[in-house]
Copies of this chain bind each other. A is one copy, B any other.
Amino acid sequence: VIKVVVAGAAGRMGQTVVDAVSHADDMTLVAGVDPALGSGVEEALGDAEVLVDFTQPGAVLANVAAAIEAGVHSVIGTTGFDMAELERMCQGAAVNVLVAPNFAIGAVLMMRFAADAARHMPKAEIIELHHDTKLDAPSGTAIRTAALMADASGNAPPPIHSVRLPGLVANQEVILGELGQTLTIRHDTTSREAFMPGVLLAARRVGALERSPTVGLEHLL
């Protein structure tokens, strides 16, 4: 049984993770913490094994630092923070960190297909569409998709357009264009439950990673 602390437990993603961990046969929820609940990460880490963090760009690195200090692995779903700083923190650490901008299997497939397609159709643009309470833009998924496409094709990363509207959950469209044709790869999230199989998989596997930080759920599939 894996002992899990969830940071950001008062947020919508955090609440969904708390539910999912509570219902997983092979996990125990040690604590769901959140400043809004009057609780912090450090006090909760006691005998936890994994921290799952769905907080905010300004909070996540301090949480991970506390986890490393306490010998606890981290699974990070927060986006928009300083990645270079995280890389420094992970050097020489005794525990692992997995960062994923998106834990939905469909989003992981979208990123893989977009990168593959970019090799054959070099011109592309990305449109990401999210609910109007999302704090960061462009989304972490869009930034990661663009980077993967640039790596695969050897071209500059494609432009990203960010749409913010009520009624949207989380959607992304990659459009590739070529003489007389376009190829569109689109992922739509209609419920946060879409992310839970990926989050639980990450919590199970983070301890066995060979590289830390590992970026992207695709390394576990």
Chain A residues within 8 Å of B, Cβ to Cβ: 104-107, 109-110, 113, 116-117, 120-121, 123-125, 127, 129, 132, 159, 161, 163-169, 175-195, 197, 221
Q: How far is the CA of A187 from the CA of B127 in the complex (A)?
A: 17
Residue on B nearest A158 in the bound complex, by CB: B165
Q: How far is the CA of A17 from the CA of B179 in the complex (A)?
A: 15
Per assembly, the copies of the chain total 4
Q: How far is the CA of A107 from the CA of B221 in the complex (A)?
A: 26
Tell me which residues across on chain B come within 8 A of A177, comparing CB atoms: 132, 165-168
Residue on B nearest A178 in the bound complex, by CB: B167
Q: Are B165 and A179 in contact (CB under 8 A)?
A: no
**Which of these, B105, B127, B189, contacts A127 with CB under 8 Å?**
B127
Tell me which residues across on chain B come within 8 A of A124, comparing CB atoms: 165
Given contacts A107-B181, A179-B194, 14 further A-B contacts (CB under 8 A): A106-B182, A109-B120, A109-B121, A109-B183, A110-B183, A113-B116, A125-B163, A165-B175, A165-B177, A167-B182, A168-B190, A179-B191, A179-B197, A182-B188
Q: Are B123 and A166 in contact (CB under 8 A)?
A: yes
Q: How far is the CA of A184 from the CA of B120 in the complex (A)?
A: 19
**Which of these, B121, B161, B166, B185, contacts A184 with CB under 8 Å?**
B185
Residue on B nearest A166 in the bound complex, by CB: B177
6 A-B contact pairs sorted by A residue (CB < 8 Å): A113-B117, A163-B175, A167-B178, A180-B189, A180-B190, A185-B185
